[in-house]
Amino acid sequence: MFKALSLRFIRAYQAKGGSKQLLNIECNFEPTCSEYTRQSIVKYGACKGWRLGLARIRRCNQPDLIEKIHDEVP
């Protein structure tokens, strides 16, 4: 249940434009942090998926990065 709710929340966030539209920032990573979190939740379940996603978001702190960092779900 938590997994399905989490995926719906992420889909809604992405449909509204994600960080680019809602927070006026661009993700430093490819795939984006929300997509990485979605993939992590699908692969590992809600608890570990959110843990991985939040750890990724914490690393996203270089606003002037020239090239995107390619970082796939482990």
Residue-wise pLDDT for 24-58, tens only, equals 777 788 898 899 999 999 999 999 999 999 999 88
Helix (H) and strand (E) counts in the chain: 4, 2
15 vs 12: CA distance, rounded Å: 5
pTM as predicted: 0.86
Element (H, E) at 33: helix 33-44
Give the up-direction half-sphere exposure of residue 52: CA atoms within 13 A in the CB hemisphere: 20
